[in-house]
Structure 1
């Protein structure tokens, strides 16, 4: 009461020294802070802000093209954020730095937390010693002759089956979703190579396999959406919405895979099976033979290889056939190269064509290899690839990054940079990959980043090219392909992998038909 009723001048005079002291302290802090910031800026500078997370959401359906335009403007830029930054780059020097030069400082980080429920501690989701061990063992197994030969047989058999199913389907429906067929075919292939079983997704006769495939695709899609879903951790904790569905689908996946692992162990431990041909050709059997018996470890290995081998290859072949439909002269040039390499006649059977597809004829397919690489340049199956920064660093361009930042190189945008590929960067031109002798000429993995580079360069790169070439040779050697609706735009679906939105709807024409039928 006495304080309230006291003289206002007395009140003011008693607080003036305190206010003055407080203002002096604040001024000192501001001056010091400005000095520190200026001093820091003299030694460290950060990439310009190119956009915000809100703009990413507003441009979500065309996000890759939005990022590409920003990369043309800045080359490397960052998003505004409250704490850590998200940095996007198309600078080959920066890409080489994070993938090779300072490789230990850039890893999965945040990515591991997002995908762990599905991929566990598999090779594509971990860093450090876990990654080194799996990389060493997997690299060796993928390089063995027995696995290489086995995969070639699997790819050819699946391609022949695919052609026959397309033939039957086209008789009933003139428009086929090629992307869907390829997704099922590549999953069948990778399952046979990795686990040694026939999933039979193409025919759909294996009910348990069909349930696994459906659950796997749903789990993959929900896991991908986590990167855009700010509330996924809350939903997972409460087990609601998409996270409840993810948990349900992962249960289906786990039951199927663990059952296969148990069955494979029993087969390999049965001495009566020693004479069975091919039982140790698949990757799972090879890992079991090495003494890797932990079901969780094997489950994670299997699913990582399946997810890497299924979507990426099917997506690339889908975009490849789209581009061939937009450039029929290139489609026919590849068909001519197939005939010259295999020496098959136009009326040869599918089996006769497949029999001529071998290591020798595959090596002759320089133009096909170039066309597939050109597809990967323009439509990389993983369009953006991010790495977490483990400690503060300065990049080759002189800009700094902080611990906790994410540096993402953008293969989709890099393939469209004129300073990397010339003024015709956005054109589909396989010839850019050929030397004066018409032989394939590779590009630096830090410019052509579809398979990454450095220590984490894709161990399945040769397998991917082999499968894509075998599928393409048998399909193009048997059919001509044309878009069902030339006027309908073909667009990508924004996700972790570059699917064609709504599928790729094509009409197919046996090569024995005349040109008038094809052009009808």
Structure 2
């Protein structure tokens, strides 16, 4: 156990340092990188690469040079006595092999589930047949027109009834706004309503602390902590009820208590309407209701009468719906503040294709009308994709092979070893994206005919790839476009002078200092 813990600490440190490099460095220093890299040993006797990684805490430039020098794939070798190593790759051919063509051999694995144990047996943690059952059931629910209509209805209602009035008051007062906090609250409220039917109303002028939301934050901090320190340390904290593990235990208790309340209320609601045939077609049903009504003959490993199954489902979808979408929106508006020419193009596209908010013309939002209006916003779509290429909400992917394998790059992988795909690094690789890989260029997503350019998911990994491709991709993109349109049609956003924008290494890529802006209401045309 101790040797495995040391390896995990080593590999986590390496991944963390790769990530940190991209946060702080530019890409015009290869000669200095090479000199620094050669100035002291990289692979040490007995201790392997761990000492070199620790020494390079302040010289992270070496890491990117290693990835480039090794053709996008690098083997991290821990101390010899561990007999363990890991592989870090941003090679699209390897990524396709791992996530698609050899999908059945690369699983999340029991170690992953241990790290994320507070989320139970949801689709996020699951493998094998349980994952297949969860995948099929979730796909049925998310693809249902009624659920998509509900998602659009809740999103637009929250924007017009809560967000825009809030912005109006804040702009009148000249109040500085943290858009990151706003978007996290907005997406938390939208997620809770579409998942459970209950509105926590965390987005308001008071910006109240919501116990359920705080539990997600505390859980995320503790899980990250588990990735960084040796296993025996966090296991000791867990046994003794100390530090981050204490907060994780408390978060788990909060999850149990609040989800139990939601599930009980939903079962009572179902009983009161079970004879009402108007509710039998699943039209506009929230996700929890749909899962309670699951046909068990189709999903034999799922038990909708089991409250734990429903609890794990609620947590999984809140985690996915709240954090990833709010992260992408935050970085999008952060990048707009630095690229006014992109903002101007997006505004022009919106004004050309969608009636201006505040006019007498009613805009008929729905999942169907989305195809008419939002799908015309190709440049906006490209700008959102470009944002997530540079700042992916989930910055790295982790897999473990069941059996030993050989990657297309020729690297051999041992069974039960660790494979890390640093998605953040992938988006900045010149050999993958071209010499302008570090630049924010929505145009790279626009084809010669003016349509959206397709890139393989093994290259653009934001929505995962292969059988685990994100089921909520369309819903997430629709929600983000809707939020952007409403805000840009109604407000000018200006970054607070001197505010520093930089990422905060976490399981979800947030901004370290938030996104502090001022708002100015736009006049209707």
Same topology, TM > 0.5: yes
CA contact (8 A) 1:393 1:402 kept: yes
- 2:450 paired residue among 418, 438, 445: 438
Q: TM-score, normalised by structure 2?
A: 0.82
User: What corresponds to 1:193 in structure 2?
Assistant: 194
CA contact (8 A) 1:200 1:206 kept: no
Residue 157, structure 1, aligned to residue 169, structure 2: no
C-alpha separation between the residues in 2 aligned to 1:476 and 1:359? 20
Displacement after TM superposition at 1:72 (Å): 2.3
CA contact (8 A) 2:107 2:127 kept: yes
C-alpha separation between the residues in 2 aligned to 1:439 and 1:189? 30
C-alpha separation between the residues in 2 aligned to 1:354 and 1:174? 32
1:316-345 deviation per Cα after TM superposition (whole angstroms, max 9, x unaligned): 010000110101111121111111111327
User: What corresponds to 1:365 in structure 2?
Assistant: 377
Displacement after TM superposition at 1:220 (Å): 2.0
What SS does the corresponding residue of 2:228 show, helix, strand or coil? coil
Residue 97, structure 1, aligned to residue 97, structure 2: yes
Unaligned runs of 5+ in 1: 1-47, 515-520
Displacement after TM superposition at 1:70 (Å): 3.3
Alignment of 1:204-223 (within 5 A): 210-223=210-223
Displacement after TM superposition at 1:358 (Å): 3.4
Displacement after TM superposition at 1:71 (Å): 2.2
User: What corresponds to 1:242 in structure 2?
Assistant: 244
1:189-234 deviation per Cα after TM superposition (whole angstroms, max 9, x unaligned): 1111111111211028898x81111222212221222111221112
Displacement after TM superposition at 1:305 (Å): 0.8
Aligned residues: 461
C-alpha separation between the residues in 1 aligned to 2:59 and 2:139? 36
C-alpha separation between the residues in 2 aligned to 1:111 and 1:56? 23
C-alpha separation between the residues in 1 aligned to 2:226 and 2:380? 36
Q: Which has the larger radius of gyration?
A: 1
CA contact (8 A) 2:327 2:510 kept: yes
What SS does the corresponding residue of 1:180 show, helix, strand or coil? helix
Alignment of 1:416-495 (within 5 A): 416-485=428-497, 487-495=498-506
What SS does the corresponding residue of 2:285 show, helix, strand or coil? coil
**Range moving further from structure 2, 431-440 or 444-453:** 431-440
1:455-514 deviation per Cα after TM superposition (whole angstroms, max 9, x unaligned): 1111111111111111111111111212112x4431111111111001011122222299
The verdict on how the C-alpha distance between 1:204 and 1:512 changes in structure 2, with shifts beyond 3 A counting, is: closer
C-alpha separation between the residues in 2 aligned to 1:507 and 1:62? 36
The verdict on how the C-alpha distance between 1:55 and 1:210 changes in structure 2, with shifts beyond 3 A counting, is: farther
Alignment of 1:55-134 (within 5 A): 67-74=63-70, 75-81=72-78, 82-109=82-109, 110-116=111-117, 118-134=118-134
Displacement after TM superposition at 1:163 (Å): 2.2
Q: TM-score, normalised by structure 1?
A: 0.83
CA contact (8 A) 1:61 1:493 kept: no
C-alpha separation between the residues in 1 aligned to 2:317 and 2:396? 19
Displacement after TM superposition at 1:57 (Å): 5.9
The verdict on how the C-alpha distance between 1:70 and 1:467 changes in structure 2, with shifts beyond 3 A counting, is: farther
C-alpha separation between the residues in 2 aligned to 1:380 and 1:434? 20
- 1:267 paired residue among 260, 266, 269: 269
C-alpha separation between the residues in 1 aligned to 2:166 and 2:62? 39
CA contact (8 A) 1:106 1:388 kept: yes
C-alpha separation between the residues in 2 aligned to 1:173 and 1:371? 28
The verdict on how the C-alpha distance between 1:95 and 1:272 changes in structure 2, with shifts beyond 3 A counting, is: closer
Alignment of 1:379-398 (within 5 A): 379-398=391-410
The verdict on how the C-alpha distance between 1:404 and 1:339 changes in structure 2, with shifts beyond 3 A counting, is: same
Residue 166, structure 1, aligned to residue 167, structure 2: yes
Alignment of 1:223-234 (within 5 A): 223-230=223-230, 231-234=233-236
CA contact (8 A) 1:62 1:494 kept: no
CA contact (8 A) 2:502 2:512 kept: yes
C-alpha separation between the residues in 2 aligned to 1:69 and 1:225? 27
C-alpha separation between the residues in 2 aligned to 1:480 and 1:70? 43
The verdict on how the C-alpha distance between 1:67 and 1:139 changes in structure 2, with shifts beyond 3 A counting, is: farther
CA contact (8 A) 2:119 2:315 kept: yes
The verdict on how the C-alpha distance between 1:499 and 1:450 changes in structure 2, with shifts beyond 3 A counting, is: same
Residue 326, structure 1, aligned to residue 322, structure 2: no
Residue 281, structure 1, aligned to residue 285, structure 2: yes
**Range moving further from structure 2, 498-507 or 267-276:** 267-276
What SS does the corresponding residue of 2:373 show, helix, strand or coil? helix
